[in-house]
Amino acid sequence: MRALVTGGSGLVGRHLKDILPEEIYISSDDFDLTNIDRVHAMLDFFRPKIVIHLAARVGGIMDNINHPVDYLEENIMMNTNVLKKCHEFNVDRVIGILSTCVYPDKVDTYPMKEEDLFNGPPTPTNFSYGFAKRCMAAHIDSYVKQYDKRWCYLIPCNLYGKYDKYEEHHSHFVSALIKKIYEADDSLELWGDGTPLRQFMYGGDLARVIKYIIDNDIVDNFNVAPKEVYSIDEITKIGKKACEKDKLVVTYDNTKSNGQFRKDVDSSKLLLMLKDFKFTTLEEGIKKVYDNFSKRYNR
């Protein structure tokens, strides 16, 4: 197949490597994707048939709020360089991985479908990141229109997994919650008021979807998310149960931002093709991550 995976040392990249171990996995230690000459050198050396573009600058709410220029510029440069050079080297398949942050802050009807993508600005709390990822969607669509490329993108919901980072400014909510639960004795405090609604998907599920669309030569743009939508408070209760810490008392600091209230998406277009696909339940996924984390984290 000869696939090259950018962001290969990240959460989804490492889950993908579990099921596609023979492909090429690139991290920022190997090639700086913000440098177009390094991207050229990378593609010239490997000559892949497929590029799965996972690499991105990602972070939590406060890091997005405090560094909007960095999130916009770094992601725009990476995405532009990768797509431009994939065109120059005639890469047959490019699969770009976006985020539900690309969707409008508010819409009239939920869950959102693929056609809602440009129906309003992204949420203010991570506007720059969301807009940079949305630009990649427009960029891929433009290459498809102008050059008849067999390129596409996936829009996954919030992710978590056993390969996540646990530093405060990088960690996804569920992974940060798992660390808090692990470290807590009697109580834990979370930001906001617990009411925002979220979809969360185990990183290994997205990896399986990527493999499926490659194996079956599917070229289209899809949302990827389980249908379940939970409040932050409900997710916390599921997390406590999965980690066998039901007695922990949870409090909320409502002086801190809730972030976007909801951004759930509809995956029915994808699931029409993946009829037998089963997403990992949130409780099962949290248990997997908690068990893995507790074995290697020194309290």
Residues that are catalytic:
129
> The tokens 């999130």 sit on which residue?
71
Give the dihedral sign, CA 159/162/168/170: negative
Whether omega for the bond prior to residue 156 falls within 30 degrees of 0, making it cis, is: no
Helix (H) or strand (E) holding 276: none
How far is it, in rounded angstroms, from Cα 209 to Cα 170? Answer: 24
How far is it, in rounded angstroms, from Cα 216 to Cα 202? Answer: 22
> Phi/psi at 210 (nearest 5 deg)?
-60, -45
Neighbours of 2 (CB within 10 A): 12
Residue 29 three-state SS: coil
- Pair 165, 175: CB distance under 8 Å: yes
> Phi/psi at 285 (nearest 5 deg)?
-65, -45
Nearest residue to 192 (alpha-carbon basis) of 138, 246, 233, 145 = 233
- DSSP string for residues in 160-203: E-TT---STTT--HHHHHHHHHHH-SSEEEEES-S--EE-EEEH
How far is it, in rounded angstroms, from Cα 130 to Cα 235? Answer: 23
